[in-house]
Amino acid sequence: MASVPRSETPSTIPALTAARPVIWPARVHKTLSNGLEIVLVESHTIPKFTGELFFRSGNAVVAAQAPGLADMTATVARTGTTRRTSREIEEDLRRMGADLSSGAGADNSVISFEGLVDFSNELLGLVSELAQHASFPIDEFERERRQLIEGLRIERTTPGFLASERMRRVLFGSHPYGTISPTEEQVAGYTVERLKDYYRSFYRPGNALLVMVGDFAPEKMLERIETIFGSWVDVPVEKAADPDLPDLPGRSVYLVHLPGSVQTQLSVANRAITRKHPDWMKLTLANSIYGGAFNSRLVMNIREEKGYTYSPRSGAHPLRQHGYFSIGAAVRNDVVAAALTEIFYEIDLMRSTPVGEAELDDARSYMTGVFSLGLATQDGLAGQLATATLEKLPDDYLETYRERILKLTSADVLEAAQKYFDSAHAQIVIVGDREQIESQAAQFGAPEVYDAQGNRI
Amino acid sequence: MTQLNIPIESTTLPNGLRVVISPDRTAPVATVGVYYNIGFRIEPRGRSGFAHLFEHMMFQGSANAGKMVHIKLINSSGGVLNGSTHYDVTNYYESVPSNALERVLWLEADRMRALKVDDENLRNQRDVVKEEVRVNVLNQPYGGFPWLDLPPIAYRNWSNAHNFYGDFDDLDAATLDDVQKFFKTYYAPSNAVLLVLGDVDTDEAIKLAERHFASIPSGPQPQHADIDEPPQLDERRGVVEEKFGTLPGVAIGHQAPRRLTPEWYAAAMLDQALHGGRAGRVYRRLVLEQQIAVDAEGGIHYPVGDLFDYNGPTLMVTRILHKPEYSVDQTIAAYDEILDEMKEKGITGDELEPIKVKFRSNYFSMLEGGHGASIPRYGLMHLLACFSLFDNEPQLVNSILDGFMEVPAEAVQSIAQKLFTRHNRSIAIRQPAKKGAV
Please state the length of chain B.
Answer: 438
Interval B12-16 mean pLDDT: 97
Cα–Cα distances (Å) from B322 to A150, B189, B254, B436, in that order, read 10, 47, 20, 13
Residues 88-147 of A with CB under 8 A from B: 90-91, 93-99, 114-116, 143, 146-147
pLDDT at A21: 87
Q: In 3D, which of B192, B194, B199 has the Cα closest to residue B376? A: B199
Same domain, A225 and A276: no
Query: Is any Cβ of chain A less than 8 angstroms from the Cβ of B67?
Result: yes
Q: What is the b/e burial string over A193-232, where b = at least 16 CB atoms within 10 angstroms of the residue's CB?
A: ebbbebbebbbbbbbbbbbbbbbbebeebbeebbebbeeb
Q: Are strands A37-42 and A208-214 parallel, antiparallel or unpaired?
A: parallel
Q: In 3D, which of A84, A195, A75, A85 has the Cα closest to residue A147? A: A75
Number of compact structural domains in chain A: 2
Query: Is any Cβ of chain A less than 8 angstroms from the Cβ of B71?
Result: yes
Q: Are strands A427-432 and A252-257 parallel, antiparallel or unpaired?
A: parallel
- Assess if residue A439 is contained within a domain: yes
- On the CB side of A154, CA atoms within 13 Å amount to 22
Q: In 3D, which of B271, B297, B273 has the Cα closest to residue B419? A: B271
B438 has pLDDT over 60: no
Same domain, A135 and A66: yes
Return the residue in B134, B323, B438 with the most chain A beta carbons within 10 A, the one to mutate for interface testing.
B134
pLDDT at A285: 98
Contact list, B355 vs chain A (CB under 8 Å): 94
Contact A310 B131 (CB under 8 A): yes
Same domain, A203 and A313: no
d(CA A291, CA B178): 33
Do A290 and A350 contact (CB within 8 A), yes or no? yes
pLDDT at A45: 85
Return the residue in A373, A430, A433 with the most chain B beta carbons within 10 A, the one to mutate for interface testing.
A373
- Assess if residue A238 is contained within a domain: no
Write the pLDDT tens digit of every residue in A307-343.
999 999 999 999 999 999 999 999 999 999 999 999 9
B105 has pLDDT over 50: yes
CATH, residue A387: 3.30.830.10
Contact list, A15 vs chain B (CB under 8 Å): 103
- Assess if residue A18 is contained within a domain: no
Tell me the nearest-neighbour CA distance from A73 into chain B, angstroms: 17
Q: In 3D, which of B366, B290, B398, B385 has the Cα closest to residue B334? A: B290
Q: How confident is the model at residue B435 (pLDDT cuts 50, 70, 90)?
A: low
Write the pLDDT tens digit of every residue in A183-214.
999 999 999 999 999 999 999 999 999 999 99
Which residues, listed in sequence order, are joined to residue B317 by a DSSP beta bridge? B253, B299
Same domain, A321 and A369: yes
Residues 70-89 of A with CB under 8 A from B: 86-87
Q: From the list B130, B215, B374, which residue is nearest A7 (CB)?
A: B215
Q: In 3D, which of A190, A185, A212 has the Cα closest to residue A76? A: A190
Q: Which residue of B has its CA nearest to A119?
A: B357
Same domain, A182 and A262: no
Q: Are strands B249-255 and B315-322 parallel, antiparallel or unpaired?
A: antiparallel
Contact A305 B130 (CB under 8 A): no
**Would you tell me how many other CB atoms lie within 10 Å of the CB of residue B115?**
21
CB proximity list for A71: less than 8 A, separation 6 or greater:
A58, A59, A103, A104, A105, A109
d(CA B112, CA B70): 13
Do B288 and A142 contact (CB within 8 A), yes or no? no
Interval B187-198 mean pLDDT: 97
Q: Are strands A208-214 and A109-116 parallel, antiparallel or unpaired?
A: unpaired
Query: Is any Cβ of chain B less than 8 angstroms from the Cβ of A373?
Result: yes
Q: In 3D, which of A351, A359, A107 has the Cα closest to residue A242? A: A107
Contact B28 A20 (CB under 8 A): yes
pLDDT at A181: 96
d(CA B279, CA B288): 10
Q: Which domain holds residue A270?
A: 252-451
Q: Which residue of A has its CA nearest to B352?
A: A95
- Assess if residue A413 is contained within a domain: yes
Query: Is any Cβ of chain B less than 8 angstroms from the Cβ of A332?
Result: yes
- Assess if residue A265 is contained within a domain: yes
Q: In 3D, which of B212, B49, B200, B73 has the Cα closest to residue B132? A: B49
pLDDT at A19: 87
Same domain, A271 and A366: yes
Q: How confident is the model at residue B374 (pLDDT cuts 50, 70, 90)?
A: confident
Contact B81 A294 (CB under 8 A): yes
0.90 surpassed by complex ipTM: yes
Q: How confident is the model at residue A155 (pLDDT cuts 50, 70, 90)?
A: very high
Contact A97 B361 (CB under 8 A): yes
Tell me the nearest-neighbour CA distance from B360 into chain A, angstroms: 8
Q: How confident is the model at residue A10 (pLDDT cuts 50, 70, 90)?
A: low
Contact list, B95 vs chain A (CB under 8 Å): 373
pLDDT at B43: 95
**Would you tell me how many other CB atoms lie within 10 Å of the CB of residue B231?**
8
Do A194 and A90 contact (CB within 8 A), yes or no? no
Contact A20 B124 (CB under 8 A): no
d(CA B263, CA B255): 12
Give the phi and the psi of residue B51 in degrees, each rounded to 5: -60, -40
A3 has pLDDT over 60: no
Tell me the nearest-neighbour CA distance from A67 into chain B, angstroms: 19
**Would you tell me how many other CB atoms lie within 10 Å of the CB of residue B346?**
18
Contact list, B276 vs chain A (CB under 8 Å): 94
- Assess if residue A87 is contained within a domain: yes
- Assess if residue A20 is contained within a domain: no
Q: Which residue of A has its CA nearest to B122?
A: A307
Tell me the nearest-neighbour CA distance from B141 into chain A, angstroms: 6
Mean pLDDT of chain B: 96
Same domain, A428 and A383: yes
Same domain, A291 and A428: yes
Strands of the A252-257 sheet, one edge to the other: A313-318, A323-331, A264-272, A427-432, A252-257, A448-451
Question: Cα(first)–Cα(last) distance of chain B, in Å?
Answer: 52
Task: Classify residue B64 by its DSSP letter.
Answer: T
Q: In 3D, which of B266, B356, B256 has the Cα closest to residue B306? A: B256
CB proximity list for A123: less than 8 A, separation 6 or greater:
A93, A96, A98, A113, A115
Interval B365-393 mean pLDDT: 89
Do A156 and A149 contact (CB within 8 A), yes or no? no
A165 has pLDDT over 90: yes
Q: In 3D, which of A65, A313, A338 has the Cα closest to residue A186? A: A65
Write the pLDDT tens digit of every residue in A25-57.
889 999 999 999 999 999 998 999 999 999 999
Q: Is this structure's pTM higher than 0.90?
A: yes
pLDDT at B311: 97
Maximum Cα interatomic distance, chain B, rounded to a whole number of Å? 65
Residues 132-161 of B with CB under 8 A from A: 132, 134-135, 138-142
Same domain, A260 and A147: no
Q: Report all structural domains of chain B as residue ranges with CATH numbers, in order of start.
A: 9-213 (3.30.830.10), 236-432 (3.30.830.10)
Same domain, A273 and A396: yes
Last residue of a domain, one of A229, A260, A291: A229
d(CA B287, CA A382): 31
Last residue of a domain, one of A229, A263, A286: A229
CB proximity list for B314: less than 8 A, separation 6 or greater:
B87, B255, B256, B300, B301, B305
A72 has pLDDT over 70: yes
Contact A21 B28 (CB under 8 A): yes
Q: In 3D, which of B294, B299, B291 has the Cα closest to residue B321? A: B294
SS3 state at B7: coil
d(CA B268, CA B302): 12
A5 has pLDDT over 60: no
Sign for the pseudo-dihedral over CA of B254, B255, B260, B266: negative
Contact B438 A150 (CB under 8 A): no
A360 has pLDDT over 60: yes
Whole-number percent of chain B with pLDDT over 90: 94
pLDDT at A7: 42
Same domain, A379 and A422: yes
Q: In 3D, which of B298, B303, B314, B307 has the Cα closest to residue B227? A: B314
d(CA A92, CA A99): 10
Pairwise pLDDT comparison (B225 vs B144), residue with the higher score? B144
Q: From the list A304, A369, A379, which residue is nearest B124 (CB)?
A: A304
Task: Classify residue B260 by its DSSP letter.
Answer: T
SS3 state at A122: helix
Question: Cα(first)–Cα(last) distance of chain A, in Å?
Answer: 72
Contact B132 A114 (CB under 8 A): no
d(CA A444, CA B120): 30
- Assess if residue A416 is contained within a domain: yes
Same domain, A294 and A409: yes
Angle ∠(A291,A294,A300) on CA atoms, nearest 5: 70
Sign for the pseudo-dihedral over CA of A217, A220, A223, A227: negative
Contact list, A114 vs chain B (CB under 8 Å): 365
